[in-house]
Chain A
Amino acid sequence: MTIIHRFLKTPEGLAGALLLAAFVLVALAAPFFFPRDPLSIAGPALLRPFQDWSLPLGTDRLGRDVLAGIFHGARTSLAVSLAAAAASIAVGAIVGTLAGFGGGWTDEVLMRITDAFQTVPGFLLALAFVSVVGPSLGVVVAAIALSAWTGPARIARAEVLSIRERDYVASARVAGMHPLEIAFREVLPNALPPVLALASVIVAQAILVEAALSFLGLGDPNRVTWGGMIAEGRTVLRSAPFLSIVPGIALVLTVLGVYLAGEGAVETAAKRRSLA
């Protein structure tokens, strides 16, 4: 309670929380406000915004409702970014813990693999992966996680290296605990907080990568995505710029919200530490 209170007291935290709340509400409310398939035709093509109040943000080249697209696109962005962040943090934390706790050859092999992934530009990796496997929501999530797990892995490893020298790890060994149980029950939970601090960066990155993949036509074709909408509007950019601008604004606000909330969380944690 007090932590949430303190979080909302930081200006970044408050702004971020408001933007994120709006984003999540929009995503959750989509099927209630727009029960129809957002890819279906809703009215005349290329209707400008604020003309017809049943279609407040107008329609695209095929007469699809732009506002319904924004709502349903938020759903895709939310699902993809959360799943990708969860997957990359889970994979990163496990790899980092095994490398840091195992040491020796395990560490050497796992960290060289991490290096290899880090040297390839993340977006290129995702692009290649989707083009080979074929676009679908799961593949997009996997593609983003593939490029984002290295950061959590490095941070988890550094944290584990310091924790494994602590007395309570020695105490667990003396009790006869299995090394894997020590790694995942005693060490990992205490190594997690700094890794979780990366979550906001990864979520923001995932939203952008997903949009970029969709923009290039490598998103899930059966779902509305903001990136896909921007790409769609590109062909009529001169006559109907709003088709690209509206999803663009949604994208910017969401990423901004995630970053601000992350900043607020870091600020709150730092204040708490200085108070303790």
Chain B
Amino acid sequence: MSAPLLEVRGLGKRFSRNGRPVAALNGVSLNVAHCETLALVGPSGSGKSTLGHAILRLIEPDSGGISFEGQDLLALSGGRLRAARARLQMVFQDPQAAFNPRATVAGVIDDPLRIHGIGSRGERPGLIRKLLERVGLSPDLGERAVHEISGGQRQRVAIARAIATRPSLVVLDEAVSALDVSVRGDILTLLADLQREENIAYLFISHDLGVVRAVAHRVAIMDAGRVVEMGEARQVIADPQSATGKALVAAVPRLRCGISTENA
């Protein structure tokens, strides 16, 4: 068995709220393997989003370590950290907020290509068209402003931007929570296809156990800044052991007297 793609060890982060320190992360340890989807679930304030941001170095943890592709991520800074970001990407919850209000579709996909020196100035428009097609969008969409396209299209553009540099890990922070259910299914299918074909691992942060059960291989349940339960996704959801896990499973709305809607 090779080393895990991502290894988080004893990660800690304290915020100060009203002068009192609050532990957002309290010794979190977990691994993500190559091409795996690890879901991170928990109630609001459990620290799941903080952990996602810490792994991307968007916030600095106070203690612990993160090793990514065998590299000590917390030891990187400046240009070396920026270069490492090509392999470690993120898709945000609200695709409207995640783009500069002035940006065009082609512009937001061009950013990572230009920054990481992928393709010459002349080659990049072709690469952008290919990426748009890759995420199931018309390549002609490039000229449009990001605020003109629909929410589902916008999230596809966000995915195209994230996979532009061929990352090995993408953190999906509630990436499908804001989407309509009829759009959500297609995006989940796209993510699964990309994982298979491009060998991408996902850290899938979500509050929706129904979605997690459909897409994740393993799940880690967080509460109060700790991982309280971790295991194979279907098994944990079928038979949660921790109190938080039990509460989360019990809280999922059930279709009353419904026909079986299994389509997976």
Q: Do chains A and B touch in the complex (CB under 8 A)?
A: yes
Interface residues of A (CB under 8 A from B): 166-168, 170-178, 186, 189-190
Given A167-B92, A170-B58, A189-B102: A175 in contact with B85 (beta carbons within 8 A): yes
List the B side residues contacting A173 at CB < 8 Å.
56, 58, 85
Choice from A167, A168, A175, A186 contacting B115 with Cβ under 8 Å? A175
Q: Is the CB of A190 within 8 A of B82?
A: no
Given A167-B92, A171-B92, A172-B111: A186 in contact with B100 (beta carbons within 8 A): yes
List the B side residues contacting A175 at CB < 8 Å.
85, 111-112, 115, 161
> Please, how many angstroms separate the alpha-carbon atoms of A172 and B107 in the complex?
12
Interface assignment of B247: CB less than 8 Å from any CB of chain A = no
Q: Which residue of B lies closest to A177 (CB)?
A: B115
> Please, how many angstroms separate the alpha-carbon atoms of A166 and B97 in the complex?
7
Choice from B83, B89, B97 contacting A168 with Cβ under 8 Å? B97
Contact with A along B76-88 (1 / 0, CB 8 A): 0000001101100
Contact with A along B92-103 (1 / 0, CB 8 A): 101001111111
> Please, how many angstroms separate the alpha-carbon atoms of A170 and B53 in the complex?
9
Most buried by A among B97, B100, B101: B100
- Chain A to chain B contacts (Cβ below 8 Å), 9 pairs: A167-B92, A170-B58, A170-B90, A170-B92, A172-B111, A175-B161, A176-B83, A176-B85, A177-B82
3 cross-chain pairs, A with B, having the tightest CB-CB distances, nearest first: A176-B85, A176-B82, A167-B97
SS class, residues of chain A in contact with chain B: helix
Interface assignment of B116: CB less than 8 Å from any CB of chain A = yes
List the A side residues contacting B158 at CB < 8 Å.
171
List the B side residues contacting A176 at CB < 8 Å.
82-83, 85-86, 112, 115-116, 165
Contact with A along B40-61 (1 / 0, CB 8 A): 0000000000000100101000
List the A side residues contacting B92 at CB < 8 Å.
167, 170-171
> Please, how many angstroms separate the alpha-carbon atoms of A168 and B90 in the complex?
12
List the A side residues contacting B100 at CB < 8 Å.
168, 172, 186, 190
> Please, how many angstroms separate the alpha-carbon atoms of A173 and B94 in the complex?
17
> Please, how many angstroms separate the alpha-carbon atoms of A186 and B115 in the complex?
14
Q: Which residue of A lies closest to B94 (CB)?
A: A167
> Please, how many angstroms separate the alpha-carbon atoms of A168 and B83 in the complex?
19
B192 to A: closest C-beta gap in Å? 22
List the B side residues contacting A190 at CB < 8 Å.
100-102
B93 to A: closest C-beta gap in Å? 8
Q: Is the CB of B99 within 8 A of A168?
A: yes
Q: Which residue of A lies closest to B158 (CB)?
A: A171
List the A side residues contacting B98 at CB < 8 Å.
167-168, 170-171
